[in-house]
């Protein structure tokens, strides 16, 4: 099977809850920025019903915009 160069090197992205710090590795979505290695998003346990925007962080710890 040929390597797909178009996709990011890592097919997984780390989800991290900014509230409790829980992390989970999950398959990257097509919409996710390819340079992002972490998606910071509130987990279901911490979700208080408010709107929480996901933040993408690259490998250097910078926010991807």
> Given the rule CB under 5 A, which residues bind Zn ion?
17, 19-20, 43, 45-46
Closest approach of Zn ion to the CB of residue 47, in Å: 8
Euclidean distance between CA atoms 14 and 16, whole angstroms: 6
Q: β-strands 12-16, 63-64: how paired?
A: unpaired
Q: Which is nearer to Zn ion, 20 or 54 (CB)?
A: 20
Q: Which is nearer to Zn ion, 44 or 61 (CB)?
A: 44
Closest approach of Zn ion to the CB of residue 24, in Å: 10
């Amino acid at each position: 099977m040929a390597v797909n160069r178009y996709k990011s090197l890592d097919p997984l992205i780390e989800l991290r809850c900014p509230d409790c710090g829980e992390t989970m590795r999950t398959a990257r979505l097509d919409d996710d920025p390819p340079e992002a290695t972490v998606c910071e998003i509130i987990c279901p346990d911490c979700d208080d019903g408010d709107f929480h925007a996901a933040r993408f962080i690259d490998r250097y710890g910078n926010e991807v915009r």
